[in-house]
C-alpha cells in the first residue's frame, strides 16, 4: 500500500495518463508516429529532478512536464496539448485509488475467510448473550462471528461500488467543456487506462466520489472497532472468555507483571477514529468554488494515502487477532451459570401466556421469582417451583424443562444456512 502512494508511483501514474493521451492522439493521426516513439524512448524523470524545478516554478505538474520536456526535446511540444493539470492529476489519482482499493478488497476477503472458519468452529459453543452489558439469552459463540462475517460481506459490496464510481478519468480541459480536446479523445484515453470517462466534469472530477470512498473506509473501520470492542470486553477479568494473542516474552505492564491487556484491539479502536476524521474532510472537499479551486488538493494528499494505509494495517491486524484468538469455553459455561437460571425468564413467561395467563400476570410472577434469586434465596428453578400458581398451570416437569438453559441449535443452524455457511468446518 505504501508503494502505491510513493512519490515515484505518483509520477508514474501521471506519465501513464499523459502517454495514454499521446497514444490516442497518434492513433487519430494528430501526432506523427516518429514523434510518439521519440517521446516514449527519451522521456525520463525523477522525483529529485522534479523537486528542483518545483522549487522555482512552484507548480508540481509544470515541474514534471518541464523535466520530461528537457529530456525529450522538440517532440515534447505534443505533450499535455489541450489539457489542464487536473486532467492528469484526477485521472492518475483514480488509477492509484483503484490499486489501493484492490488491496483493501483482498484484505476484506482474508478477514471474511477467517471469520467464516471460526464461525463454523464455534457454531454450537454455548455462551451468554448480553444486552446493555447484562446477561440476556443464551446464544452460541459462533453467532457473534457469523454477525461479523455477514457485516464484512456488506462492506465488500460497498467497497466494490465505491471503486466502480472512482474508476473514471477526464481530459475535458480547464472548465470541463473540451475547449481544446474532445469526447472521443477522452474515451480513447480512458479505454487505454482501464477507466470509464466521467460523464460530466468541471475542471475536476467531482469529489462526491472520493467522499463516498472515505465514508466506506470509515464504515469498515467502525466495524473493525465493533469487533475489537467486543474482544476487549471478553478479555476483562470479570468476563475472561476470550483473549487476543500474547507473544512469548511479551509484557503487559511496566508496573504490574500479572497484566495481559488487549492492547491490539485498543489500537484498532483508536485508529478507527482517524478514519472517521478523514471521512469528514472528504465531505468538506465536495463543495469547491465554481468550476474548481484547490482547497481539496492539500487535504487529499494526506487523507487518501493515510486512510487506505490505516485501514490496510487495521484489516491485517484484525485478521491476525481473530485467527489467534484464545477462547475459554469452560469460562463461557461458568458465566452462563452465574445468574443461576435467570436467563430462562422469557421462556417461562411465554409458557405461562401460552397456558392462558395474561402477559401482565405472567410477568409479575416471573419477576417475583427472579427477585428471589437476586436476594440469594436459591436458583431460578427452585424459585419458580415455589410458586404454586406456576406449578398448577405448567406442572413441575414442564417448569424444570423450561429452565434447562440451552441454545436453540436447530434454529441457529438454519441461520447459518441462510447466511450461506455449510456444516463443513474449513
3-state secondary structure string across 148-188: HHHHHHHHHHHHHHHHHHHCEECCCCCCCCCCCCCHHHHHH
Neighbours of 224 (CB within 10 A): 25
pLDDT of residue 422: 76
pLDDT of residue 426: 45
Cβ atoms 21, 55 nearer than 8 A: no
Active site residue 365: no
H or E element at residue 145: helix 141-166
Instruction: Tell me what the pLDDT averaged over the chain comes to.
Output: 94
Residue 245 pLDDT exceeds 70: yes
- Hey, which CATH number is domain 342-404, 3.40.50.1860, 3.90.220.20, 1.10.40.30, 3.40.50.10490? 1.10.40.30
Residue 415 pLDDT exceeds 90: yes
Cβ atoms 26, 33 nearer than 8 A: yes
In our burial notation (b when 16+ CB lie closer than 10 A, e otherwise), range 259-275 reads eeebebbeebbebbebb
Cβ atoms 61, 89 nearer than 8 A: yes
> Active-site residue among 6, 59, 180, 253?
253
Among residues 322, 395, 407, the alpha carbon closest in space to that of 124 is found at 407
Phi and psi angles of residue 253, each rounded to the nearest 5 degrees, phi first: -160, 145
For 109-120, what is the mean pLDDT? 97
pLDDT of residue 425: 52
For 262-277, what is the mean pLDDT? 97
> Active-site residue among 132, 254, 298, 426?
132
Distance CA 349, CA 366 (A): 6
Among residues 395, 379, 384, 382, the alpha carbon closest in space to that of 348 is found at 384
Residue 203 pLDDT exceeds 60: yes
For 411-426, what is the mean pLDDT? 83
Residue 136 or 199, more confident: 199
CATH fold of 86-242+258-335 reads Fumarase C; Chain A, domain 2 (1.20.200)
Question: Confidence class of residue 404 from pLDDT cuts 50, 70 and 90?
Answer: confident
Distance CA 334, CA 331 (A): 5
For 152-175, what is the mean pLDDT? 97
Q: Which CATH architecture has domain 7-81?
A: Orthogonal Bundle (1.10)
C-alpha cell, 45 = 524523470
pLDDT in tens, 345-360: 898 999 999 999 999 9
Distance CA 282, CA 52 (A): 31
Query: 368-373 long-range contacts, Cβ below 8 Å, gap at least 24?
Result: 370/342, 370/345, 373/339, 373/340, 373/341, 373/342
pLDDT of residue 252: 66
pLDDT in tens, 69-95: 999 999 999 999 999 999 999 999 999
Active site residue 132: yes
Among residues 137, 141, 115, the alpha carbon closest in space to that of 127 is found at 141
**Matching fold, domains 7-81 and 86-242+258-335:** no
Domain residue ranges of the chain, discontinuous segments joined by +: 7-81, 86-242+258-335, 342-404
pTM of the model: 0.92
Determine the 3-state secondary structure of 198 from DSSP.
Answer: coil
Classify residue 39 as exposed, middle or buried by CB count within 10 Å of its CB (0-12, 13-18, 19+): buried
DSSP β-ladder status, 196-197 and 168-169:
parallel
Amino acid at each position: 500500500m505504501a508503494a502505491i502512494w510513493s512519490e515515484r508511483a505518483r509520477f508514474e501514474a501521471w506519465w501513464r495518463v499523459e502517454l495514454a493521451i499521446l497514444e490516442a492522439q497518434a492513433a487519430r493521426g494528430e501526432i506523427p508516429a516518429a514523434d510518439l516513439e521519440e517521446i516514449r524512448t527519451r522521456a525520463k524523470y525523477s522525483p529529485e529532478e522534479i523537486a528542483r524545478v518545483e522549487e522555482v516554478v512552484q507548480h508540481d505538474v509544470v515541474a514534471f512536464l518541464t523535466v520530461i520536456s528537457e529530456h525529450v526535446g522538440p517532440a515534447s511540444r505534443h505533450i499535455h496539448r489541450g489539457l489542464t493539470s487536473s486532467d492528469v492529476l484526477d485521472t492518475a489519482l483514480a488509477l492509484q485509488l483503484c490499486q489501493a482499493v484492490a488491496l483493501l478488497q483482498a484484505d476484506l476477503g482474508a478477514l471474511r475467510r477467517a471469520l467464516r472458519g471460526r464461525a463454523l468452529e464455534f457454531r454450537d459453543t454455548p455462551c451468554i448473550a448480553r444486552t446493555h452489558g447484562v446477561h440476556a439469552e443464551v446464544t452460541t459463540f459462533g453467532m457473534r462471528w457469523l454477525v461479523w462475517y455477514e457485516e464484512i460481506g456488506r462492506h465488500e459490496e460497498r467497497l466494490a461500488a465505491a471503486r466502480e464510481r472512482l474508476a473514471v478519468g477526464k481530459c475535458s480541459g480547464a472548465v470541463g467543456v473540451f475547449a481544446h480536446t474532445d469526447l472521443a479523445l477522452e474515451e480513447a484515453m480512458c479505454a487505454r487506462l482501464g477507466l470509464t470517462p466521467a460523464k460530466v466534469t468541471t475542471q475536476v472530477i467531482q469529489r462526491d466520489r472520493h467522499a463516498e470512498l472515505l465514508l466506506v473506509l470509515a464504515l469498515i473501520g467502525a466495524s473493525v472497532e465493533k469487533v475489537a470492542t467486543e474482544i476487549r470486553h471478553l478479555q476483562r477479568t470479570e468476563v475472561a472468555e476470550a483473549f487476543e494473542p500474547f507473544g512469548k516474552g511479551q509484557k503487559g505492564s511496566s508496573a504490574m507483571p500479572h497484566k495481559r491487556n488487549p492492547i491490539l484491539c485498543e489500537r484498532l479502536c483508536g485508529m478507527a477514529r482517524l478514519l472517521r476524521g478523514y471521512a469528514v474532510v472528504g465531505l468538506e472537499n465536495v463543495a469547491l468554488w465554481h468550476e474548481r479551486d484547490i482547497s481539496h488538493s492539500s487535504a487529499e494528499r494526506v487523507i487518501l494515502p493515510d486512510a487506505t494505509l490505516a485501514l490496510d494495517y487495521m484489516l491485517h491486524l484484525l485478521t491476525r487477532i481473530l485467527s489467534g484468538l484464545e477462547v475459554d469455553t469452560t469460562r463461557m459455561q461458568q458465566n452462563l451459570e452465574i445468574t443461576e437460571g435467570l436467563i430462562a425468564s422469557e421462556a417461562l413467561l411465554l409458557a405461562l401466556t401460552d397456558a392462558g395467563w395474561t402477559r401482565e400476570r405472567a410477568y409479575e410472577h416471573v419477576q417475583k421469582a427472579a427477585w428471589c434469586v437476586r436476594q440469594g434465596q436459591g436458583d431460578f428453578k427452585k424459585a419458580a417451583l415455589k410458586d404454586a400458581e406456576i406449578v398448577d398451570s405448567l406442572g413441575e416437569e414442564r417448569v424444570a424443562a423450561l429452565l434447562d438453559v440451552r441454545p436453540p441449535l436447530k434454529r441457529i443452524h438454519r441461520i447459518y444456512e441462510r447466511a450461506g455457511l455449510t456444516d463443513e468446518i474449513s
